[in-house]
Amino acid sequence: MNRLRCCPARGLLRPGRGKGQWCLTLGGYFPGLRHPGISGLKRTWKSPGVKARDYPPSTSWLSEPPLGPVPHPSMVLARGGRSRAQPLTLSLGAAMTQPPPTKVPAKKHVRLQERRGSNVALMLDVRSLGAVEPICSVNTPREVTLHFLRTAGHPLTRWALQHQPPSPKQLEEEFLKIPSNFVSPEDLDIPGHASKDRYKTILPNPQSRVCLGREQSQEDGDYINANYIRGYDGQEKVYIATQGPMPNTVSDFWEMVWQEEVSIIVMLTQLREGKEKCVHYWPTEEETYGPFRICIQDMKEHPEYTVRQLTIQYQEECRSIKHVLFSAWPDHQTPESARPLLRLVAEVEETPEEASHTRPIVVHCSAGIGRTGCFIATRIGCQQLKARGEVDILGIVCQLRLDRGGMIQTAEQYQFLHHTLALYAAQLPEEPSP
């Protein structure tokens, strides 16, 4: 029985002239015949005039019924959509004839520069890309950090702070979003600074660090781990946040106090809390530290803190300094009550020398960022509540971290700051609810 079958290789399979022969008519020339439907066909195609036979392993596939309508050979197009070629007749079991091979011209070797075109053309292509799609600037992590710290804020009115405060969970989430703005050792290119750092990861931010400028410090450089901190309404150099003095930095500490004409020192740590947190940098009566002579003039103990009146003498000049030691504040934690902290803030406010706001207040704990940051933020927040009737605690912390990285160390301290300022707001004269 003569049957026609559509070959998957874009050809037509039909009975041949001789017995047991089949012919394959293709719409174009193909150098090989590959398809799963005739994968069992052993190909031995060669040039015309050379005997070549294809031996199918079985003839059962030739008697299978056709899978669909059989197209006319003239409708079979060559691969790739090219013009139809002359039909090629392939006799299975007989010699195959094929058109003479087309001579392909040898590919000319082209140098890389010729394929690309000239350098000028390459430059024009790059410029044209910019005209189609403008190049957008990408913010670096440092720029993102600075933008957040300069713009973030969450103002709270006195009424909201007392009656509708954020929940502890909300405050924790808000605190964790604030970039720490710590300084890496690579960003602080100061030879020998490591020997003067109490903690190797707590370093002064370069743009606001205090530089020692007197002659006796030139041999050791101008370095001290301390930063100028802005105060209420962005006033410059209201505070100096620094670490607890070390044995080899006591003289530098008093030099900074003298250089900046400091009149108040607030100390927020004990000398030892399991390990050394700060050295005893003031005398019991009188002592000399480098070129500075320090004397105790008076001491008064309060339930939560101790106040000492000191004098510092350099050459023939002598100045008075108020030293306040608040020791009831564990490291990385909060005081048991907010009221002692508010009394400490009031103690600083009552200092006559503070009325002029011309001299910075030195504040330190052990690292100079946790308890130090809480005290400074509390005082700024009290000033905002008193002057404006509202407080932006998030904005205060962001401003502090711009000046010294890591100020306010824990979410617990951040929550305690809100609690302390809510207590202060309750002490102010009544205001109508919104």
Element (H, E) at 89: strand 88-92
Distance CA 188, CA 50 (A): 83
- Quickly count: other Cβ atoms within 10 Å of residue 377's Cβ: 23
Q: What residue ranges do the domains of the chain occupy? A: 5-92, 141-427
Please tell me what DSSP assigns to residue 317.
Answer: E
Q: Which residues, given as ranges, of the chain have pLDDT below 50?
A: 1-10, 26-47, 50-57, 59-64, 67, 70, 73-96, 112-134, 217
Q: What is the pLDDT of residue 331?
A: 75
Binding-site positions read 331, 365-371, 409
Contact 149, 142 (CB under 8 A): no
Cross-strand pairs, 226: 242
Contact 170, 177 (CB under 8 A): no
Q: What is the pLDDT of residue 89?
A: 44
- Tokens representing 305 are 């803190």
Distance CA 264, CA 282 (A): 14
The alpha carbons of the chain give a radius of gyration, in whole angstroms, of 44
Q: Which of 365, 374, 382, 398 is catalytic?
A: 365
Q: Which whole-number Å values give the CA distances from 215 to 182, 259, 367, in the listed order?
A: 30, 11, 27
Architecture of the structural domain at 141-427? Alpha-Beta Complex (3.90)
Q: What is the pLDDT of residue 350?
A: 84
Q: Which whole-number Å values give the CA distances from 32 to 27, 39, 46, 84, 379, in the listed order?
A: 14, 12, 11, 18, 88
Binding-site positions for substrate read 331, 365-371, 409
Q: Dump strand ranges (E) for 137-289.
A: 155-157, 209-211, 223-229, 239-242, 264-267, 286-289
- Contacts of residue 123, defined as CB under 8 A and 6 or more positions apart, other chains included, come to none
Reply yes or no on whether 6 is catalytic.
Answer: no
Angle at 330 (CA atoms; ends 324, 335), nearest 5 degrees: 75
Q: What is the pLDDT of residue 98?
A: 55
Q: Is 369 exposed, middle or buried (0-12, 13-18, 19+ CB in 10 A)?
A: buried
Distance CA 167, CA 261 (A): 42
Angle at 408 (CA atoms; ends 406, 413), nearest 5 degrees: 150
CA of residue 58 relative to chain centroid, distance: 69
pLDDT digits (tens, 9 = 90+) for 293-334: 999 999 999 999 999 999 999 999 999 999 999 988 877 778
- Quickly count: other Cβ atoms within 10 Å of residue 332's Cβ: 13
What pTM was computed for the model?
0.68
What are φ and ψ of residue 314, in 5° steps? -130, 120
pLDDT digits (tens, 9 = 90+) for 74-114: 444 444 444 444 444 444 444 445 556 666 556 555 554 44
